[in-house]
Homo-oligomer: A and B are copies of this chain.
Amino acid sequence: MRTELLMLTLLIPLTAGAQTRTTGPWWPNAEWGAMDQAGASNRITAQKIVAALTLVKTGRTYEIGQVYERGMPMGGTRDFALRLVPAIEPTGSNRVLYNDEFVAAEIGQIGTQFDGLGHVGGEVRYADGSLHRVFYNGFTTEEMNAGTGLRQLGVEHVKPLITRGVLVDLPAYKNVQRLAGGYEVTLADVRGALARQGIAESSISAGDAVFFRYGWAQLWSTPAEYNAAALPGIGLEVARWLVERKVTVTGSDTSVTEVSPSPVQGAAIPVHQELMMKNGVFNIENMTFEELAADRAYEFLFIATTLRFKGATGSPLRPLAIR
């Protein structure tokens, strides 16, 4: 058990009925309160939206998510089935036909996907030695889980993502086609890339969306390559910088955003825990920035609206960059 997860034992009464929750190293969340479920999406205030809209000059719109389709790269043991439920016979004097589609899938965790706060947590040892399974803001699996969806931290709590977007183009900075599998992007890399792009680090501020281009979307149409065991990505160093810069959401053009395998010995997706579990910062995976990079479009209005599926752990979405 990691010592950083050791926690205090002060029991505090919470507002949600009879619930009480012990405090911990990363909760209750000082910024948005002990019962908050929206995390860093709280930073996208009305003022932030107004400011972000001013970034648009021409209305040129970039699709920075992938199309969802049979045969796309899939992670783990997830599945995706879409079936046409077609018009059988025309109906009515106007001879109407209609088609539906039936989908069976890990809907929030396939293709371009938004990781909600109920997606990744961890087991934590309390000061009394007992183990507990907690997510963002200290919500426990006992409080959260139900067969038909999360009772807490469902993705429906996430606010619309309409904010300033910044792309960190690492292959352009490194002068490579794409980063190598297993390469950890350093903070020096990020700073170098931002400098090359003419974006002041200090400009990255509360509520921004900061995305990392690794060039990996070039492999989207070859799933075996795309899903390689070794993936480039950020590590805990850059994750903590994102937290310091108070971004709302990050993301990338791989299926995990973080470097894989993790350089932290024996650890599994520690950046996910750092961002989501401890700080309520969101992550969008399987994006594509090839067009933005070709246009050297590094700052833009970012729009992405997660679906409000009650109790879901994530969401499919259609992220856009508008200039």
Query: Chain A: residues with CB nearer than 8 A to chain B?
Result: 1-2, 5, 45-50, 53, 56-61, 63, 65-70, 77-79, 81-109, 118-124, 133, 135, 141-142, 145-150, 156, 159-160, 162, 262, 264-270, 272-273, 303-314, 316-318, 320, 322
The smallest beta-carbon distance between A283 and chain B, in angstroms, is 12
**A59 x B49 contact (CB < 8 A):** yes
In whole angstroms, how far apart are the Cα atoms of A316 and B159 in the complex? 17
Contact of A82 among B66, B95, B268, B312 (CB under 8 A): B312
In the complex where A95-B1, A269-B96, A318-B306 touch, is A101 in contact with B313 (Cβ < 8 A)? yes
**A318 x B160 contact (CB < 8 A):** yes
Q: Which residue of B lies closest to A66 (CB)?
A: B308
In the complex where A67-B156, A102-B83, A148-B70 touch, is A133 in contact with B97 (Cβ < 8 A)? yes
- A2-B94, A103-B312 known, 15 other contacts, Cβ within 8 Å: A46-B58, A49-B322, A50-B56, A50-B57, A61-B162, A83-B149, A84-B145, A86-B147, A95-B123, A96-B269, A98-B120, A98-B269, A99-B118, A100-B313, A160-B318
**A150 x B104 contact (CB < 8 A):** no
**A101 x B311 contact (CB < 8 A):** yes
Residue of A97, A313, A316 with highest tally of chain B CB at under 10 A: A97
In the complex where A59-B45, A69-B311, A307-B318 touch, is A103 in contact with B96 (Cβ < 8 A)? no
Instruction: List, in ascending order, chain B residues with CB within 8 A of A306's CB.
Output: 318
**B103 x A119 contact (CB < 8 A):** no
**A96 x B273 contact (CB < 8 A):** yes
In whole angstroms, how far apart are the Cα atoms of A119 and B84 in the complex? 10
Instruction: List, in ascending order, chain B residues with CB within 8 A of A98's CB.
Output: 119-121, 269, 272, 313
**A305 x B308 contact (CB < 8 A):** no
Instruction: List, in ascending order, chain B residues with CB within 8 A of A97's CB.
Output: 120-123, 133, 135, 141
In whole angstroms, how far apart are the Cα atoms of A304 and B162 in the complex? 12
In whole angstroms, how far apart are the Cα atoms of A162 and B306 in the complex? 16
Can you report 27 residue pairs joining A to B where beta carbons are below 8 Å apart? A1-B95, A2-B94, A45-B59, A49-B61, A50-B56, A50-B58, A61-B162, A69-B310, A81-B102, A84-B145, A84-B146, A84-B147, A85-B85, A86-B141, A88-B142, A92-B266, A92-B269, A93-B265, A93-B267, A96-B267, A99-B119, A100-B119, A101-B150, A304-B305, A305-B305, A306-B318, A308-B318
The smallest beta-carbon distance between A162 and chain B, in angstroms, is 7
The smallest beta-carbon distance between A119 and chain B, in angstroms, is 6
In whole angstroms, how far apart are the Cα atoms of A70 and B309 in the complex? 10
The smallest beta-carbon distance between A311 and chain B, in angstroms, is 7
**A148 x B59 contact (CB < 8 A):** no
**B268 x A92 contact (CB < 8 A):** yes
The smallest beta-carbon distance between A256 and chain B, in angstroms, is 12
Instruction: List, in ascending order, chain B residues with CB within 8 A of A308's CB.
Output: 63, 65-68, 318
Instruction: List, in ascending order, chain B residues with CB within 8 A of A273's CB.
Output: 94, 96
**B94 x A122 contact (CB < 8 A):** yes
